[in-house]
Chain A
Amino acid sequence: GQQLNQSPQSMFIQEGEDVSMNCTSSSIFNTWLWYKQDPGEGPVLLIALYKAGELTSNGRLTAQFGITRKDSFLNISASIPSDVGIYFCAGPSNTGNQFYFGTGTSLTVIP
């Protein structure tokens, strides 16, 4: 299946710092999604992007749809302890009835 690579794999940051992570694909996507998964729970959709170059915010989160359509970026500003979790990017298959997920970025926020 499609491979989505996320980096970094894990991050340890101080509370209040900003966070940046990215996701790259070997092929083009028409949609990029960003999810967050808390321990023991299912992923929750944070932001959806539908257009190359699009920049979308959700509170302290901002995501961008890369111009090449092969990458996407997620930024978290002024991190807080509840930002802890694993962040996944995802993109749809050509048929649209399956999503490919990235390898995940694990975020730890140190109070």
Chain B
Amino acid sequence: KAGVTQTPRYLIKTRGQQVTLSCSPISGHRSVSWYQQTPGQGLQFLFEYFSETQRNKGNFPGRFSGRQFSNSRSEMNVSTLELGDSALYLCASSTLQANGYTFGSGTRLTVV
């Protein structure tokens, strides 16, 4: 059974650019969540999608957005990149939330 796949693994962008990250969940998992991980702030919740609907959103500016497709694949987009957006972005999928997530390996975004 394939795990959660995130692409790309590494990305370098310059300030002001935008970026799109992709996540393919485990087959049959309809819930996809995104987290930002930085050394100083730990794992911060971005948003969660279920059946193409955003059910929950964390405390991030509107530059951070996401969507989910009918096949449960998800993308997140960050516009007008700032240096502080440099982080590991993790995608996680699940069936029942209470059973916990399965995380992907993440996308390491560096903004220069």
Contact = CB atoms under 8 A, between A and B. Distances in A.
B103 A101 contact: no
B56 A42 contact: no
A24 interface: no
Interface residues of B, number: 26
Nearest to A102: B42
A97 B103 contact: no
Nearest to B31: A97
Contacts of A40: 105-106, 108
Interface of B is mostly: strand
A1 B98 contact: no
Contacts, number: 64
B112 interface: no
A95 B56 contact: yes
B45 A48 contact: no
Interface string A80-100: 000000001010110111111
A35 B90 CA distance: 14
Identify whether the interface residues of A are mostly helix, strand, loop, or mixed. Answer: loop
Interface in A62-109: 88, 90, 92-93, 95-104
Contact of A98 (B42, B56, B103): B56
13 contacts: A1-B45, A35-B103, A40-B105, A41-B106, A42-B103, A42-B106, A43-B43, A45-B102, A90-B100, A95-B55, A95-B56, A97-B31, A101-B35
Interface of B: 4, 31, 33, 35, 42-43, 45, 48, 50, 55-56, 58-59, 90, 92, 97-106, 108
Given A92-B98, A96-B98, 14 more contacts: A1-B58, A31-B98, A41-B106, A43-B103, A44-B103, A45-B100, A90-B100, A95-B55, A95-B56, A97-B55, A98-B45, A99-B45, A99-B100, A101-B42
